[in-house]
Amino acid sequence: MFRAPIRSLSSTAKKSLKIGLIPADGIGHEVIPAAKAAIEALGSDIPKPEFVNLLAGWDTFTRTGTALPHETVDILRNECDCALFGSVSSPSKRVVGYSSPIVALRKELDLYANIRPVVSVAPEAGQKPSVDLVVVRENTECLYVKQEQQTIGENGKEARATRLITERASRRIGQMAFEIALGRPRKLLTIIHKSNVLSITDGLFRETVRSVPALPEVNGKYDGVTIMEQLVDSAVYRLFREPEVFDVMVAPNLYGDILSDAAAALVGSLGLVPSVNAGDRFVMGEPVHGSAPDIAGKGIANPVASIRSAALMLRHLGYSRGADRLDTAVEQVLREGATLTPDLNGKSTTQEVLDAVLRKL
C-alpha cells in the first residue's frame, strides 16, 4: 500500500489522539465503525485514541435542514486532531438549501489536497503490484466551486457553470504532489490537463505546477523528480491500457475525481480505494466509495477502503508504524482471498472482514 511520507502534522509525543467520526449516510455507518475498531487495535503504536461522533450528510439535512451543522465544523476545527468521513448521499437533482457536506468540509477546513493511492494486491508478498499510483487532486476549485446559473435564451434554457483555477491553489497542490513524488521510488510526476482546449484555465494549472521546482523556497529540492504531462482524455485511455506508466498524477478537481474512480476499476472495487483530504493544519480520511444505498444496512459493505483511509490519516500525522500495521494486515487478508465481501466476488460480511484484519493485527 501507499507508504510514502506526505507531511507530518503532529508530534508523536502526544498522549492522546482525538478523532472526529462522521459516518454521514448509507454504508458510512458500517465502515467507519470498522475503521475505528482497527485504530483501537493498534495499541501503543499510536497515542490513545479518543473518538467523537459528529453529524453531516443527507439524512442530517432531512432532519435538521442543514447537511453540515456548525457544531460539526467547530468541533473538528477546535477539538479534533483529525477525522474520518464515511459517505454522503447527495441527490442527483437540485434541492433548495442542500449542499454537499464533504465539499463544504474541504473548504471550511482548507483541505486543499485529496490524495488517492490506487494499488493492486501483489499475488505474493514482496512482489511488485501491477498498479501502483497516486492521484493528487486539487480539492477546492475547478467546477466544484458550484457557481451555476440557468437562464432563458433564444435556444431555450441555458445553463452555465463557472470554473475557477487560481495560481495559489495550483501552486500548493503542485507542491504537495512534488512532495509525494519525491518520497516514492520512481519520483515521477504527471500533470493532467486539457490545455490544448482550455488554454486559460488548464493552461494556468499546467504552468503553475511546472513552475514549482523553480520557487526560491524550494531551492532545488525537487530536482530529482521527473515531470511529464498528459491530456486528461488520453490519460484515461493509458490508465486502462498501461497503468504502469503512471506514478503520481496531479490534476484539477474534476479530472482528479474522475481519474481516481476510474483507476479503482483496475484494482477490483471502489471498496478498496482510500483517500485523505489534507491541508496544512488538518487531515481527514475518506474512502473513495459512495453511500451505496442498495446495500446499506445489509452488513456486506467492504470496510477495507475505510481502514486504509485510517492508515493514510495516521501516516499523514506521523504515525507510520501504526499505519504500516494496518496496511500490512489488510494486504494479508486480501492476498489470502478467503474473507472478501461481495464487491470482490466473496461472501463475507463487513464484520467478518474486520475480524480477519484484527486477527492479522
Determine contact, residues 314/332, Cβ cutoff 8 Å: no
Known catalytic residues are 144, 194, 233, 257, 261
Give helix 232-241 / helix 253-264 axis angle, nearest 10°: 10
Provide φ and ψ at 157, rounded to 5°. Answer: -65, 135
Give the distance, in angstroms, between the CA of residue 106 and the centroid of all CA atoms in the same chain: 11
C-alpha cell, 320: 507510520
Q: Which amino acid is at 60?
A: T
C-alpha cell, 298: 445489509
Query: Cα dist. 71→51, 53, 54, 259, 276 in Å?
Result: 15, 11, 8, 33, 22
Closest-CA residue to 228 (of 173, 170, 194, 189): 189
Give the distance, in angstroms, between the CA of residue 312 and the centroid of all CA atoms in the same chain: 9
| Cβ-based neighbours of 336, under 8 Å, separated by 6 or more | none
Closest-CA residue to 296 (of 22, 19, 20, 23): 23
Determine contact, residues 111/83, Cβ cutoff 8 Å: no
